[in-house]
A and B are shown apart, each in its own frame.
Chain A
Amino acid sequence: MSGTSDIPPVPARPDEAQPAPQIGVDAWVASHDVRRERRAGPLGSVQAQLERLPRAAFYAAFGVAAALLPAFTSNGYVIRVGFDTLLYMLLALGLNIVVGYAGLLDLGYVAFYGFGAYGYAMLASPKFGIHWDTLAIIPVVVVATALLGFLVALPSRRLLGDYLAILTLFFGQLFVTVYQNGERMSLLGFPRGKHYDVTGGPNGIPNVDNFDLGGLKIASLQGYYYAALVVFLAVLTCVALVDASRTGRAWKSLREDPLAAELMGIPVNRLKLVAFACGAAIAGLTGTLFAALNTAVFAADFDVPTLIVIYAMLILGGAGSIGGVILGALVVNISLEVLRTPGNATWIFYVVIVATLVAKLRPWRWTAVVLAGTVGLGFAAHAIAASAWPRGTAGEAPVGGVLGSGLRHWILFPSNPRMIGNVAFVVLVLAVLGLTLLHGWPQKLALIPTLYLAAFVWENRLAVEPSVTRLILIGVILIVLMNARPQGLLGTARVEIA
């Protein structure tokens, strides 16, 4: 009998023994606030206050700030970058519906963008002599693009997401090929018979009309900026509303677990198609803006690099979060613009490196050790090279100014940097990979030569070829983010239940 004494008596009715379950107010939920990661002190209270504000307040603040941009500057370049950023935000919002909400990998997304742009160009240019009113073109283009998206997703609706990825990637490639060779199209591709010039081929469609909103013509850059802003805010409102709706919740459930979603009675296939068509429609709408401002369209603008840039924006901000997507588009597009000029790019490079070290290295003394070590290593290497290998310091620094003259005494600039820079690039990649294998103090010590090597490669190879460098960096961003922080800057980490 002694062995059974610690077993509690069985109650007559099981529900009497425990309090009835109350939805949403159990101990775990009640302690939710405590578990939140919060900063202490005044910063923490500011953060808490900010979190109380409704999301709409942030969007409105963003809209006001963006609307004031042309008032602060009349610099055409700045407004142009602002316009491009708004377009990227629109594209990222559309892609967010497909990838972030529904969890479908759409690799033909830019084709819809291009389809919209070409649609506008065909209906408002001397190409076919058609000059419709913009208010008529936009609905036609949006509906046509949505329909196209629907058709593309249709064959793979019963299949795994992987098949959708390959199908859409192929579709995007097909779009570029067909539009780039569309100046001699014949019926069904037969070489005989009459040929028609449909897309202008590699020359694209030039002389596209400006926006003509029922008599109100938009001809200035500022006008287009405001048009893009209005379209963006309208789309943002729609997406935010959908986000909170039944459809939005159903999309997210289908992203988390399609099988469970289907068992709960959610029409999975239909929702996938709708998500796909919605994303495509937003891309098509964005395309009309793009075509109208640039007054010409070329198929090469809608190729894989553009797609990867949009993906980088989505991933950086955090797929599935509207604010994150906007932030991602802002950060990526502005960084890419800044990277165009080597002088600015070099500043950014060193600021980012130092900021990362300060943020990531703990305890603090290691930050000082690594920074001082790198600087010291550089001067030592430069001094040795100056006496032993004069050609190694004979080259030109790509940037001038204070930074350039400082760097000239720190970094080696060989007179012919191409070959040695290429070797250093490969070594750098291997060194960074090796760094991820080390832990503790060996890793921090190994950081010193790696950083110097990175600066060497940057100055001698990467800063010299900004157009390639930005694409390499986009690839690196995707790899690093997915491995280190898949939820992005503003996204929430998903709970994986195996």
Chain B
Amino acid sequence: MNWNLFVTELVAGITHGSVYALIALGYSMVYGILKLLNFAHGDIYMVGAFIGFGILTVFNGAVALSVNVVLLLVLMFLCAMLGGGVVGVLIERFAYRRLRNAPRIAPLITALGVSFFLEYSAQLLLGAQYQSYNSYSWQGGALWLHGFTLPGDVHVGIAQVIVVVGAVVLMVMLTLFVQRTQTGKAMRATSFDREAAAMMGIDVDRVIVVTFFIGSALAGAAGVFNGLAYQQVWYLMGFQAGLFAFTAAVIGGIGNLPGSVLGGLVIGLAQAFATGYLSSTFQDAIVFAILITVMLVRPSGLLGRAAVQKV
């Protein structure tokens, strides 16, 4: 057995899966509360990636970084999360709020429109070409050359570690927020029954805004993670990633947070192994096959029914 290939794909799958899981969390949170498939969520991920790129450009990062790496990373994440969150809240306020009691198909089509608007506005503003984070060359490749070696002689760079550890930290913070805080409790209550929650004095509008902000901030962070690990960002990146993350949320059980993380990892690993052992053309087909299988065998997703927690 070729351990090198196996471990390489395992690392790639976990890295990619962490990014998918972060995006899937946002889908899942919004679906849990509004029962809305927010197609524009993937494009918020794109917005986050471009905000990170903007910060990078300010500090001349793609050519020769003029600032401490840690400071740069912190700044990129803060700006991307804040920017992503603000865009998400604006979308909720101006596109979805009026449609909360409309027939179900109306918000879905609006979400498509928002997604399209964001994608092509990004093309208008930033151009259609790929932009590169070029994190391989930051400070002599420090993010990639340093790191550790796994069995099978696979080198793992610090950038990949940052992606996985960062994603885990954000997920733990989200779980703590949802489980331990007053607002998290309100979110769970709203997700359980919006009308009853409103009658109990929960400000449902505020809960929805908070949900959109947190979900979109996670997507913004995922955009920066993706830029760090895979360099390239462009205006349509949100569509493909959104589609996979969406599938991850459905596979894990949409509306269920641990399920989304599990689904993200499943999709990431399936994609990586399909690329390594079959051909990259078929990664979509493999993921599609998994989606159909899960829908037929467990329509509510892998963790859908068993989990009591719903957000």
Interface residues of A (CB under 8 A from B): 99, 103, 105, 107, 155-156, 158-159, 161-163, 165-167, 169-171, 173-174, 177-178, 181, 186, 189-191, 304, 308, 311, 315, 319, 422, 425-426, 429, 433, 436, 461-462, 465, 468-469, 471-472, 474-479, 482-483, 486, 494, 496, 498
What is the chain A residue whose CB lies nearest that of B289? A174
Q: Cβ of B114 and Cβ of A162 under 8 Å apart?
A: no
Considering the chains assembled together, what is the distance between the CA atoms of A243 and B291 in angstroms? 34
What is the chain A residue whose CB lies nearest that of B103? A494
Considering the chains assembled together, what is the distance between the CA atoms of A471 and B239 in angstroms? 15
By Cβ-Cβ distance, the 10 closest A-B pairs, closest first, are A478-B113, A475-B117, A475-B116, A189-B282, A181-B281, A479-B113, A471-B120, A482-B110, A189-B278, A472-B120
B307 on the A face (CB < 8 A): no
Q: Cβ of B101 and Cβ of A496 under 8 Å apart?
A: yes
What is the chain A residue whose CB lies nearest that of B296? A155
Number of interface residues of B (CB under 8 A): 53
Q: Cβ of B116 and Cβ of A308 under 8 Å apart?
A: yes
B179 on the A face (CB < 8 A): no
Considering the chains assembled together, what is the distance between the CA atoms of A107 and B93 in angstroms? 25
A178-B284 CB under 8 A given contacts A173-B243, A474-B116: yes
- Nearest CB on A from B193, distance (A): 15
With beta carbons under 8 angstroms apart, the residue of A165, A174, A308, A496 that contacts B103 is A496
With beta carbons under 8 angstroms apart, the residue of B109, B120, B239, B295 that contacts A156 is B295
B173 on the A face (CB < 8 A): no
Q: Cβ of A478 and Cβ of B110 under 8 Å apart?
A: yes
With beta carbons under 8 angstroms apart, the residue of A156, A186, A472 that contacts B124 is A472
Considering the chains assembled together, what is the distance between the CA atoms of A471 and B117 in angstroms? 7
User: Which A residues lie within 8 Å of B175 (CB)?
Assistant: none
User: Which B residues lie within 8 Å of A178 (CB)?
Assistant: 281, 284-285
With beta carbons under 8 angstroms apart, the residue of B113, B115, B124 that contacts A461 is B124
Q: List 16 A-B contacts (CB under 8 A).
A: A103-B105, A161-B104, A162-B37, A162-B108, A163-B250, A167-B292, A173-B243, A173-B284, A174-B284, A181-B281, A433-B93, A472-B117, A478-B109, A479-B117, A486-B106, A496-B103
User: Which A residues lie within 8 Å of B120 (CB)?
Assistant: 468, 471-472, 475
Q: Cβ of A486 and Cβ of B103 under 8 Å apart?
A: yes
Considering the chains assembled together, what is the distance between the CA atoms of A192 and B296 in angstroms? 31
Q: Cβ of A177 and Cβ of B281 under 8 Å apart?
A: yes
Considering the chains assembled together, what is the distance between the CA atoms of A468 and B121 in angstroms? 8
User: Which B residues lie within 8 Å of A477 (CB)?
Assistant: 113
B57 on the A face (CB < 8 A): no
B112 on the A face (CB < 8 A): yes
Considering the chains assembled together, what is the distance between the CA atoms of A486 and B292 in angstroms? 32
Considering the chains assembled together, what is the distance between the CA atoms of A189 and B277 in angstroms? 10
Q: Cβ of B278 and Cβ of A190 under 8 Å apart?
A: yes
What is the chain A residue whose CB lies nearest that of B236? A304
Considering the chains assembled together, what is the distance between the CA atoms of A469 and B105 in angstroms? 26
Considering the chains assembled together, what is the distance between the CA atoms of A469 and B103 in angstroms? 29
What is the chain B residue whose CB lies nearest that of A433? B94
User: Which A residues lie within 8 Å of B239 (CB)?
Assistant: 304
Q: Cβ of B101 and Cβ of A498 under 8 Å apart?
A: yes
Considering the chains assembled together, what is the distance between the CA atoms of A178 and B288 in angstroms? 12
With beta carbons under 8 angstroms apart, the residue of B93, B118, B125 that contacts A426 is B125
User: Which A residues lie within 8 Å of B243 (CB)?
Assistant: 169-170, 173
Q: Cβ of B295 and Cβ of A159 under 8 Å apart?
A: yes
User: Which A residues lie within 8 Å of B296 (CB)?
Assistant: 155
Considering the chains assembled together, what is the distance between the CA atoms of A425 and B124 in angstroms? 9
Task: Given contacts A170-B287, A472-B117, list 17 more A-B pairs with CB under 8 A.
Answer: A99-B105, A161-B105, A162-B254, A166-B247, A167-B295, A170-B288, A170-B291, A174-B285, A177-B285, A189-B281, A425-B125, A471-B116, A475-B114, A475-B115, A482-B102, A482-B106, A482-B113
User: Which A residues lie within 8 Å of B166 (CB)?
Assistant: none
Q: Cβ of A163 and Cβ of B102 under 8 Å apart?
A: no
A191-B125 CB under 8 A given contacts A155-B292, A433-B90: no
Considering the chains assembled together, what is the distance between the CA atoms of A472 and B90 in angstroms? 18
With beta carbons under 8 angstroms apart, the residue of A155, A156, A170, A308 that contacts B112 is A308
With beta carbons under 8 angstroms apart, the residue of A155, A422, A461, A486 that contacts B295 is A155
User: Which A residues lie within 8 Å of B101 (CB)?
Assistant: 496, 498
B246 on the A face (CB < 8 A): yes
Q: Cβ of B125 and Cβ of A482 under 8 Å apart?
A: no
B98 on the A face (CB < 8 A): yes
What is the chain A residue whose CB lies nearest that of B124? A468
Considering the chains assembled together, what is the distance between the CA atoms of A156 and B299 in angstroms? 8
Most buried by A among B101, B113, B274, B292: B113
User: Which A residues lie within 8 Å of B102 (CB)?
Assistant: 482, 486, 496
Q: Cβ of B95 and Cβ of A159 under 8 Å apart?
A: no
Considering the chains assembled together, what is the distance between the CA atoms of A426 and B54 in angstroms? 15
With beta carbons under 8 angstroms apart, the residue of A170, A422, A475 that contacts B113 is A475
